[in-house]
Amino acid sequence: MQSSTKITEPKNQWTARLLEFWRVFNKNRMGVIGLGMIGTLVIIAIFAPLIAPYDSSSTESAQIGDIYNPPSAAHLLGTDDAGQDILSNFIFGTRVSLIVGTFAAFISIIIGGTLGLIAGFNGGRTDNLIMRFTDIMLVIPDLPLIVVLVALTKPSLLNIIIVVGLLGWTTTARVVRSQTLAVKSRKFVLRARGIGAGNRHIISHHILPLVMPILVVQAVLVVSNAVLTESTLAFLGLGDPSALSWGQMLNYAFGRGAMSIGAWWALAVPGIGIVWVVLGLTLLGQGLEQVLNPRLETHHLTPGRPVVQNERDEFGSGKSADEKSGNILLDVQNLSVNYVADGRPPARAVENVSFTLKEGELMGLVGESGCGKTTLMLSLLRLLPSAGQIVNGKVFFKEKDLTALNEEELNIVRWSGISIIFQGAMNALNPVRTVGDQISEAIIRHLPDFPRDKRLDERVIELLDLVGIASDQKENFPHQYSGGMRQRAMIAMALACNPQVVIADEPTTALDVMIQAQILELLDDLRKKLGLAIIFVTHDLGVVAEICDKVLVMYGGVTAEYADVDTVYNEPRHPYTQELIKAFPDLTKPKKKLTSIPGYPPRLDALPAGCRFAPRCPAVFDRCHIEQPPLHKLGDMHFASCHLVEGSK
Amino acid sequence: MGVELFPRPHNLKSFTTSRSALNRTRILLRKIAWALFTILFVIVLNFFIFRVLPGDPARAGIRDPRLKAEAIEMLRVRFGLDKPVINCFESLNPVKLGSCNVNPLDTQFFIYVRNLLQGELGISYHTNRPVAEVLGERLWNTILLIGAGQILSIFIGVVFGVFAAWKARTSIDRAAVISSLVAWSLPTFWLGIILLFWGSKFGLPLAGKATPGASTYPLLQQWGDIARHMFLPTLTYTIIFMAEYTLIMRSSLMDVLSEDYILTAKAKGLSTFQILKDHALKNAMLPLVTVIAINLGFTVGGAVQIESVFSWPGLGLAIFEAVARRDFPILQGAFLLLAISVIFANLLADLTYTYLDPRVQTE
Amino acid sequence: MTSALLQVTDLQTRFHTPEGIVHAVNGISFHINEGETVAIVGESGCGKSVSMMSLLKLIPTPPGEISSGTAIYRGTDLLQKSEREMEDIRGKDIAMIFQDPMTSLNPVLTLGRQLTESMREHLGFTKEQAEERAVQMLEQVGIPDARRRINEYPHQFSGGMRQRVMIAMALSCAPSLLIADEPTTALDVTIQAQIVELVARIRESLHMAIIWITHDLGVVAGMADRVIVMYAGFIVEEADVNDLYDSPGHPYTLALLAALPRIDRRRDHHLKSIAGSPPNLLVAPHGCPFAPRCEFVIEKCRQENPPLIQIEKNHSSACWVDVKTGAPR
């Protein structure tokens, strides 16, 4: 089936990309200001003869009385030690600074970029050699060396350019090398090799495009450095006497008594010029860096957003009035969480989710990536990232509403009431502190009366023992533990303050099946021994079947089905639950074909109207696209949000 | 996650505890050896630059055009410039090295090295005093200036950087970033000039390290006098370099605060202050130490400029004066001393880093 | 009786690290026939990925080293070939896809560029020809609106779609052998099912042999012909898929099967797990590597590493003990 439309021309691709880059760059204030600053200077440099009131180095009407004249109508910026107009000299000086800066930087970038690329790509002995050499050149003080070299050769503009260029490549080499190394070890390079690409192809097609942005940012910084160095050299008396750069102007002014006469204009003006160039380039460099390598400007300690209560309760509470009253530890009612984004509608990550958790109960929270399960869990303890905001609902922990607490009060509940085992314990432990230390920290924080002597150590050992970690591991660092051990250490830490509820967020996802079995067994054991209530977040139905008492199935941020585990597996009523179960490999029927659900989960900032599962639902009908189904109650402990189950029991 | 391309042993315990001590010593020795090698490299570089580059030092150093040819020749012999540079280097044909009948120990290079080892750095063309003597006094002044400046700028930079990162995206942060960027863009010598200009209006000393005749003052007053002279140069140095450290500390701390273990700490109910103190700071300082080490070479450049502006009697000023007078032995000696000092300081910083980071032990 | 498409004999791969020599692959032998699907199962670090990458000589050498073995593919030994010759084979005759599609695609190049790389390199297609074929392939793997999407960037696709694109890339030159290294491990279970379905469909039409590497025995069940189980760099069991699940012949396989959470076995069963962890690969193997954790262990196991012994037709196991009876063989 041939379509008649041609595939987009690649030239359009490049212009499209450049336009896109320009659009993003424009939003960056720093970069734009920097660009403007440099732009003005470039224009001044180009049109210097037209702008300057006097010819360069003109001694037109210069008399003895003209030396160090303050700013006046004839000389807007005053005169210097030779009676020349400072404004004109300044304007022409722009040329010198920019030319030296650009050419010297050019040399440095070529050398540094090539060396860095070769070192990073080839690795091994070549890398070692080049890096050693670079390290030596970095350690040797650059300015004294430059001074020495220029002093020994003739101080001409060309010499200065060459020397500055030849010594300015070290940072560039390091930066390019580390970027090359990073790119080289990325999977797509391996993949390219896997299809038979040779070195040259890999460098030109894969490595260079990713090194270029870094190089561009470096180039800007190298130019600013070169300009600074040239000014410094000129000031120290090593400038080219025939080219009046700003540094040279300062050299003359300083050395010829501007200070004692009080001729501040002769000292200020050239300096301001240098600052203008360097600042402009620095801002431009920062701006480029932010655009090319965007980093989140927020972190975990950025203050969170206030809780809002919308009081919208149209969707019915998931609370079942005749649930066997036991000790209800956690009662979540109509919790809704949004992620706020600038200039765009918020992503409705969690909408009206309710559930309860009793002592000793193990609830499985199931759903695909992006369905909101982690967001839901983080919001219970208000650990959301700075863009997250609770916009509805309450979280009752032992009768206290957590959403109404302030940070201090919340800190008391955290860990000692409810603790979390995070997904992927790789980085959830501080790498520069021992594991034992991090566990005892929790104890000290929440149990201030706990004796700080060796009984504390014993308690830590006891906890480690509980999860099957030998006591001598207490003094080791996280990187000395294997993946499974780290996860178990996280569990030990989560239990340190005897919490009533533990949230386990996909604790076994990245682990081997044997280790997973160990950990599941451990959690189940602990639950029975300590009476813990556990919420187990996962996308693995098999795990849920093995150990959970009840299941909350989420899809696209809402509750799809909420029931006890037998019901979920034997009589699932929501089409999504039904499909999930069908998609899971069943070992009793090894040759059964896996059926899959076509399509992909919805994007939370572009949700469909109506039921969120409608685009993929095998049982969809018209109403599903228009109206979002409320949570229907199907029994004591069975809820499903689907139009099909309306009115049934 | 999952596939490990280069499998690592699962049970690391027995290997690392016994090896960690051994590894660390090995790493230390290796770093020291490398520092020594770098010093050797600098010595060789230093020597060759001055001999190989055009501009016969003799002629350049002895500028008086009235000197007759024999006088020039005598001076050349006096400064040992008539001997071959190294073996048959004069012929520029390294192949002939072996077949040369020159006593290698009688070449300029080996004489130079031998003298160095005896602490002999040559004789100044300008003052005829031994270079070592002239520079010896100055070395400590430079170290004093750079030392004070570095300590202040690191301290202030860390504090500002922590605040900026902590209050990311607020006006405090923005102010810190903008002012740091501006400070960083100032040419060191120019800032010195401006500060000098203002300082002179407040009666601060304009040049030098001490008021003439101050050596007769009682000790405390002497130090006070030096402090007054040191104020402006140190201020200049601090303003320039704390800007960079602020920016580095800020970005390093922001990286650390985005790590998962910070979220764990928050979930444990630790207060923000506690988290900063116990979890974030140490981790964020490590990259800063590296940057400080790398930066040492560049800070010396700043010292040269500051000393020139304030006439602070250090190695930097020596370079400045030697350039003006084409006094090459001084220039050569000052450069060598500066380079060696930086190499040492770099080694110290490197060793500190090795002690601080537990991960380094087991690598 | 077709002769094997690929016959590997006694492959050994080691890594030279500062802490010592890591014995990653310790002499494995197996074969795969045309059109066959063989699953290689085992935990991380057992050598399954390393051995496949050794076949395609994708192991960096240093620190890696293929210290012995032959891999005869269509009559020639892959391990003896030069880098240039391997570049010709990779992608064209033998293709490999990797685990995490996010990192396997260059974020700054369009899909079109990356899809057509292989075809232009190996088959000499022009850009237009390659792009046409790329669009066809994308349509075949179920990417809607392929003609427009071919100019998009990886981040504009979801994980499941990216993996489909990887598959399309791997198949673009119609290789006779596809090595899939944990292609579904990083994906959700529903997407996983989609990918497995897709691969099954494609291999029918291309008559392609597949080596499917995974640690998940559940996924394998529905789509492999034969299964090879690896542990600590050795092959410990090899069987037709049904035989493996019905009557596993090695204690490790038993343990793997027991550790699998299963929907049908509700909570009345305890999940069985075995204590301990895989052995330290820095130590040269001596005796059976599984001995420290094995419930059937006898003295001989610690002294001598059992070779792969045939226990039934098309079913071999490296164990001194008959796990059905518990008695030594």
Give the whole-angstrom CA distance, residue A493 versus residue A483: 15
Chain C partners of B1 at a C-beta cutoff of 8 Å? 99-100, 185-186
Cβ within 8 Å, pair A514-C255: yes
Task: With cut-offs at 50, 70 and 90, classify the pLDDT of residue A6.
Answer: very low
B162 compared with C125, residue with greater pLDDT: B162
What is the edge-to-edge ordering of all strands in the sheet holding A328-341?
A344-358, A328-341, A388-397, A400-401
Cβ within 8 Å, pair A274-B190: yes
Task: Determine which of B6-15, C124-133, C305-314 has the lowest per-residue pLDDT on average.
Answer: B6-15
The neighbouring-strand residues paired with C15 are C22, C64
Name every residue whose Cβ is closer than 8 Å to that of residue A642 and which is 6 or more positions away in sequence. Answer: A560, A573, A574, A575, A611, A629, A632
Nearest by Cα to A218 from A273, A178, A267, A261? A178
3-state DSSP percent of chain C in helix, strand and coil, to 5: 35, 25, 40
Which DSSP string do the residues of A297-352 spell out, in sequence order?
A: S--TTS--PPP------TT-----TTS--S-EEEEEEEEEEEEEETTEEEEEEEEE
- Whether residue C37 is predicted with pLDDT greater than 90 in this model: the reply is yes
Name every residue whose Cβ is closer than 8 Å to that of residue A34 and which is 6 or more positions away in sequence. Answer: A279, A280, A281, A282, A283, A284, A285, A286, A287
Give the whole-angstrom CA distance, residue A136 versus residue A145: 13
- Return the exposure string of A384-410: e unless at least 16 CB atoms fall within 10 Å of the residue's CB, then b: bbbbbbbbbbbbbbeeeebbebeeeeb
Give the whole-angstrom CA distance, residue C250 versus residue C324: 9
Residue B10 has what pLDDT?
30
Cβ distance A213 to A287 under 8 Å? no
What is the amino acid identity at position C72? I
Mean pLDDT of B59-68: 58
Q: pTM here?
A: 0.80
| pLDDT digit string, tens, across residues A161-204 | 999 999 889 989 998 998 898 888 887 888 787 777 778 888 88
Task: Determine which of A303-317, A391-405, C245-259 has the lowest per-residue pLDDT on average.
Answer: A303-317
Cβ distance A48 to A94 under 8 Å? yes
| pLDDT digit string, tens, across residues A295-337 | 767 788 888 888 887 655 544 444 444 444 567 889 999 999 9
B9–chain A Cβ distance below 8 A for any pair: no
Residue with tokens 């990713």: A210
Give the whole-angstrom CA distance, residue B114 versus residue B106: 11
Work out the end-to-end distance of chain B between its first and last CA atoms, rounded to an integer number of angstroms.
21
Give the whole-angstrom CA distance, residue C140 versus residue A439: 53
> DSSP alpha helices (H): ranges in C25-144?
48-55, 83-89, 101-104, 111-122, 127-140
Give the whole-angstrom CA distance, residue B316 versus residue B320: 6
Residue B65 has what pLDDT?
63
Tell me the average pLDDT of chain A. 84
Mean pLDDT of B138-163: 91
Chain C partners of B7 at a C-beta cutoff of 8 Å? 15, 22, 24, 45, 47, 50, 281
Cβ within 8 Å, pair B168-A238: no
Selecting from C121, C169, C271 the residue whose C-beta is nearest the C-beta of A520 gives C271
Task: With cut-offs at 50, 70 and 90, classify the pLDDT of residue A422.
Answer: confident
- Whether residue A65 is predicted with pLDDT greater than 60 in this model: the reply is yes
Residue C151 has what pLDDT?
84
DSSP letter at A204 equals I
Residue A376 has what pLDDT?
93
- Whether residue B13 is predicted with pLDDT greater than 60 in this model: the reply is no
B202–chain C Cβ distance below 8 A for any pair: no
Mean pLDDT of C41-52: 87
Cβ within 8 Å, pair A196-C87: yes
| pLDDT digit string, tens, across residues B294-352 | 788 788 888 999 999 999 999 889 888 888 887 888 888 888 888 888 888 888 888 88
Residue A377 has what pLDDT?
93
Residue C239 has what pLDDT?
93
Say how far residue A386 (Cα) sits from the centre of its chain. 13
- Whether residue A501 is predicted with pLDDT greater than 90 in this model: the reply is yes
Please classify residue A427 by burial: count the beta carbons closer than 10 Å to its beta carbon, then call 0-12 exposed, 13-18 middle and 19+ buried. Answer: middle
Chain C partners of A482 at a C-beta cutoff of 8 Å? 277
| pLDDT digit string, tens, across residues A522-573 | 888 888 888 889 999 988 788 888 888 999 999 989 999 999 998 888 889 9
Mean pLDDT of C271-289: 76
| pLDDT digit string, tens, across residues C61-87 | 778 889 999 999 988 999 998 888 888
Name every residue whose Cβ is closer than 8 Å to that of residue A395 and which is 6 or more positions away in sequence. Answer: A330, A331, A332, A333, A335, A379, A380, A401, A402, A403
Chain A partners of C143 at a C-beta cutoff of 8 Å? none
Mean pLDDT of A143-153: 86
- Whether residue A7 is predicted with pLDDT greater than 60 in this model: the reply is no
Tell me the average pLDDT of chain C. 84
Cα atoms in the Cβ-side hemisphere of radius 13 Å centred on A315: 28
Nearest by Cα to C36 from C321, C290, C298, C226? C226
Looking at chain A from residue 11 to 40, which residues have their Cβ under 8 Å from any Cβ of chain C?
13
Residue B45 has what pLDDT?
86
Task: Determine which of A365-369, A396-400, B251-255, C190-194 has the lowest per-residue pLDDT on average.
Answer: C190-194
Residue B4 has what pLDDT?
26
A583–chain C Cβ distance below 8 A for any pair: yes
Cβ within 8 Å, pair C122-A543: no
Give the whole-angstrom CA distance, residue A579 versus residue C179: 29
Task: With cut-offs at 50, 70 and 90, classify the pLDDT of residue C285.
Answer: confident
Phi then psi dihedrals of residue C194, to 5 deg: -60, -45
- Whether residue C17 is predicted with pLDDT greater than 70 in this model: the reply is yes
B219-257 helix and B171-185 helix, angle to the nearest 10 degrees: 120
Strand A558-564 versus strand A550-555 pairing type: antiparallel
Please classify residue A479 by burial: count the beta carbons closer than 10 Å to its beta carbon, then call 0-12 exposed, 13-18 middle and 19+ buried. Answer: middle
Task: With cut-offs at 50, 70 and 90, classify the pLDDT of residue B64.
Answer: low
Residue B14 has what pLDDT?
32
Quote the tokens at residue B219.
Answer: 């000790």
Residue B11 has what pLDDT?
28
Task: Determine which of A303-317, B136-150, B273-287 has the lowest per-residue pLDDT on average.
Answer: A303-317
* The dihedral sign for the CA sequence B357, B358, B361, B363: negative
Cβ distance A160 to B340 under 8 Å? no
- Whether residue A584 is predicted with pLDDT greater than 80 in this model: the reply is no
Nearest by Cα to C255 from C329, C327, C323, C182? C323
* The dihedral sign for the CA sequence B95, B96, B102, B108: negative
Residue with tokens 């800032």: B191
Quote the tokens at residue A369.
Answer: 């990536």
- Whether residue B109 is predicted with pLDDT greater than 80 in this model: the reply is no
Selecting from A205, A547, A587 the residue whose C-beta is nearest the C-beta of C262 gives A587
Nearest by Cα to B112 from B90, B131, B128? B131
Residue A321 has what pLDDT?
43
Residue B180 has what pLDDT?
93
Instruction: Provide, rounded to the nearest whole percent, the portion of chain C with pLDDT above 70.
Output: 95
Residue A347 has what pLDDT?
87
Cβ within 8 Å, pair A197-C262: no
Cβ within 8 Å, pair A140-B45: yes
Residue A5 has what pLDDT?
41
Between A and B, how many CB-CB pairs are < 8 A?
Answer: 237
Task: With cut-offs at 50, 70 and 90, classify the pLDDT of residue A354.
Answer: very high
Residue C237 has what pLDDT?
94
A353 compared with A84, residue with greater pLDDT: A353
Give the whole-angstrom CA distance, residue A649 versus residue A647: 7
B188-201 helix and B219-257 helix, angle to the nearest 10 degrees: 130
Cβ within 8 Å, pair B2-C99: yes
B363 compared with C252, residue with greater pLDDT: C252
Quote the tokens at residue A457.
Answer: 């150590």
Mutate to test the interface with C, among B5, B13, B26 (most CBs of C within 10 A): B5
| pLDDT digit string, tens, across residues C75-120 | 899 999 888 888 888 878 898 888 777 777 877 788 888 888 777 7
A163 compared with A512, residue with greater pLDDT: A163
Give the whole-angstrom CA distance, residue A143 versus residue A146: 5
Looking at chain B from residue 149 to 178, which residues have their Cβ under 8 Å from any Cβ of chain A?
165-166, 168-169
Selecting from C100, C188, C242 the residue whose C-beta is nearest the C-beta of A590 gives C242
Instruction: Provide, rounded to the nearest whole percent, the portion of chain B with pLDDT above 70.
Output: 77
Instruction: Quote ipTM for the complex.
Output: 0.83
